[in-house]
Amino acid sequence: MSAIFLLIGASLLVAVGFLALFVWAVRSGQYEDTVTPSMRMVVDDDGAVPGGQHGASVQRKDSSNNLE
Amino acid sequence: MEVEQFSYDNKIVRYFTYATALWGAVGMLVGVIVALQIFIPEANFGISWLTYGRLRPLHTNAVIFAFVGNGIFAGVYYSLQRLCKARMWSDLLSKLHFWGWQLIIVSAAITLPLGYTTSKEYAELEWPIDILIALVWVIFTVNMFGTIFKRRERHMYVAIWFYIATVVTVAMLHIVNSIEFPLSLMKSYPVYAGVQDALVQWWYGHNAVAFFLTTPYLGLMYYFVPKAANRPIFSYRLSIIHFWALIFIYIWAGPHHLLYTSLPDWAQSLGTVFSIMLIAPSWGGMINGLLTLRGAWDRVRTDPILKFFVVAITAYGMATFEGPMLSIKSVNAISHYTSWTIAHVHVGALGWNGLLTFGMLYWMVPRLFKTKLYSVKLANLHFWISTLGIAFYAIPMYFAGWMEGLLWKQFTPEGFLQYPNFLEIVTQIIPMYAIRAFGGALYLSGVFVMAYNLIKTMKSGVAEDNEAAEAPALPKKYHEKEVHPYRHRWLEAKPAQFIVLTFIAVAIGGLIEFIPTFMVKSNVPTIASVRPYTPLELEGRDIYIREGCNNCHSQMIRPFRSETERYGEYSKVGEFVYDHPFLWGSKRTGPDLHRIGGKYPDAWHYQHMEDPRSMSPGSVMPPYPWLLTSKLDTSHTRDKISLMRSLGAPYSDGYEEQAMADLQEQAEGISKGLEEAKIITDWDSEIVALIAYLQRLGTDIKVEGAQAGL
Q: List, for residues B673-709, the tens digit of each pLDDT value.
A: 999 999 999 999 999 999 999 999 999 887 655 554 4
Distance from CA of A9 to the nearest CA of B (A): 9
CA dist B384 and B307 (Å) reads 9
Beta-carbon separation of B8 and A47 below 8 A: yes
* Pairwise pLDDT comparison (B457 vs B492), residue with the higher score: B457
Three-class SS of residue B337? strand
The total of other beta-carbon atoms located within 10 Å of residue B126's CB is 22
Tell me whether B292 touches chain A (CB under 8 Å): no
Tell me which DSSP letter residue B7 carries: E
What values do phi and psi take at B12, rounded to 5? -65, -35
Nearest CA in chain B to A38: B232
Residues B210, B216, B218, B221, CA torsion sign: negative
The per-residue DSSP string of B421-436 comes to SHHHHHHHTHHHHHHH
Query: Rounded distance, CA B281 to CA B286, Å?
Result: 9
How big is the CA angle at B160 (ends B155 and B164), to the nearest 5 degrees? 125
d(CA B82, CA A40): 11
Model confidence at B346: pLDDT above 50: yes
Q: Which of residues 245-284 of B touch A (CB under 8 A)?
A: 247-248, 251-252, 264, 267
| B694 touches B593 (CB < 8 A) | yes
Q: Does A21 touch chain B (CB under 8 A)?
A: yes
Q: How many Å apart are CA B700 and CA B698, to the nearest integer?
A: 6
Burial of residue B482 (number of CB atoms within 10 Å: 0-12, 13-18, 19+): exposed
Measured distance CA(B211)–CA(B248) in Å, rounded = 12
* ipTM higher than threshold 0.85: no
Query: Which tens digits make up the pLDDT trace of B375-425?
Result: 999 999 999 999 999 999 999 999 999 999 999 999 999 999 999 999 999
Mean pLDDT in residue range B247-262: 91
What's the residue count for chain A? 68
Report whether B367 contacts A54 (CB < 8 A). Answer: yes
Q: CA end-to-end span of chain B, whole Å?
A: 86
Residue-wise pLDDT tens digits, B40-94: 999 999 999 999 999 999 999 999 999 999 999 999 999 999 999 999 999 999 9
**Alpha-carbon span B326 to B336, nearest angstrom:** 8
How does pLDDT run across B624-672, given as a tens digit for each residue?
999 999 999 999 999 999 999 999 899 999 999 999 999 999 999 999 9
Interface of A with B in 23-62 (CB under 8 A): 23, 25-26, 28-42, 44-50, 53-54, 61-62
Nearest C-alpha neighbor of B457 from the set B363, B537, B321, B546? B363
Asked if B316 and B286 count as a contact pair (C-beta separation under 8 A), the reply is: yes
- Is B483's CB within 8 Å of A26's CB? no
Of the partner residues B196, B199, B367, the one whose CB lies closest to the CB of residue A66: B367
pLDDT higher than 60, residue A60: no
Q: Report the half-sphere exposure of B77 (CA within 13 A, side-chain side).
A: 30
- Using alpha carbons, select from B471, B616, B638, B609 the residue that is nearest to residue B547: B609
Residue to substitute from B367, B368, B503, B517, interface A, most A β-carbons within 10 A: B367
CA angle B206–B257–B423, rounded 5-degree value: 125
Contact A39 B232 (CB under 8 A): yes
pLDDT of residue B503: 54
Whether residue B319 has pLDDT greater than 60: yes
Using CA atoms, how far apart are residues B491 and B13, in angstroms rounded to an integer? 40
Q: Give the minimum alpha-carbon distance from B365 to chain A in angstroms, rounded to a whole number.
A: 10
The answer on pLDDT for B260 being more than 70 is: yes
Q: Quick one: chain B helix, strand, coil %, rounded to 5? A: 70, 5, 30
Q: Reduced to 3 states, what is the DSSP secondary structure of residue B468?
A: strand
Question: Please, are residues B674 and B602 in contact by the beta-carbon 8 Å criterion?
Answer: yes
- pLDDT grade for B26, boundaries at 50, 70 and 90: very high
Q: What is the largest CA-CA distance in chain A?
A: 64
Whether chain A has a CB inside 8 Å of the CB on B311: the answer is no
A63 CB neighbours in chain B (<8 A) are: 230
pLDDT, mean of residues B227-255: 92
d(CA B313, CA B151): 29
> B186-195, B455-464, B499-508, B519-528: which range is least confident on average?
B499-508
Q: Which residue of A has its CA nearest to B225?
A: A42
DSSP B126-190: -HHHHHHHHHHHHHHHHHHHHHHHT-S-SS--HHHHHHHHHHHHHHHHHHHHT-EEEEETTEEEE
Cβ(B28)–Cβ(B443) below 8 Å: yes
Q: What are the residues whose beta carbons fall under 8 Å from the beta carbon of B62, sequence distance 6 or more?
A: B23, B26, B27, B30, B105, B108, B109
Q: Is B10 on the interface with A (CB under 8 A)?
A: no
Please say if the pLDDT value at position B152 is more than 80: yes
Return the pLDDT at A16: 84
Q: How many CB atoms lie within 10 A of CB B479?
A: 9
Summarised one tens digit per residue, pLDDT across range B284-297 is: 999 999 999 998 89
pTM: 0.90
Q: Is the peptide bond before B581 cis (omega within 30 degrees of 0)?
A: yes
The CA distance from B86 to B9, in Å, is 9
B199 touches chain A (CB under 8 A): yes
Spatial separation of the C-alpha atoms in residues B395 and B397, rounded to whole Å: 5
CB contact under 8 A, A42 and B226: yes
